[in-house]
Amino acid sequence: MQSVQPVGRAQFLPGSNRVNLSIVKPDQYRSAVIDWIAVDSREVSGQIGENYAVQIDGLQRPVDWVRWEQLDVMLFVPYELEVIPRG
């Protein structure tokens, strides 16, 4: 284990059952995260009806991540979606 150099994605600590996870350059996934936000926004808008629109705030924030399950992470941009009347 001592000869293996960590590269930033996962690290197993010998003598424990812990795995440390990290994301290298999370902003490289920004476009994909924004695409998911856009899809969600269109779905919400479609469900509410044509008399309403959605307004998104916070897309200027950096991509963040949290550990999800044992060996997965979830990437996100903390944003707020507000439904507002059109016009």
How many angstroms separate the CA atoms of 22 and 10, rounded?
Answer: 6
Residue 81: its pLDDT value, please? 96
What are the backbone dihedrals phi and psi of residue 49, each rounded to the nearest 5 degrees, phi first?
Answer: 125, 165
Evaluate whether residue 71 is within a structural domain.
yes
The reported pTM is 0.73
Q: What digits encode the pLDDT tens for the residues 12-53?
A: 556 666 777 778 889 999 999 999 999 999 999 999 999 999
Evaluate whether residue 47 is within a structural domain.
yes
Residue 35: its pLDDT value, please? 96
In the chain, the number of structural domains is: 1
Evaluate whether residue 32 is within a structural domain.
yes
Residues 21-31 as b/e (b if ≥16 CB within 10 A, e otherwise) read beeeebeeeee
Residue 79: its pLDDT value, please? 96
Residue 75: its pLDDT value, please? 93
Evaluate whether residue 73 is within a structural domain.
yes
What are the backbone dihedrals phi and psi of residue 60, each rounded to the nearest 5 degrees, phi first?
Answer: -80, -10
* For residue 5, pLDDT beyond 80: no
Residue 31: which domain range?
26-85
* SS3 sequence of 50-78: CCEEEEEECCCCCCEEEEECCCEEEEECC
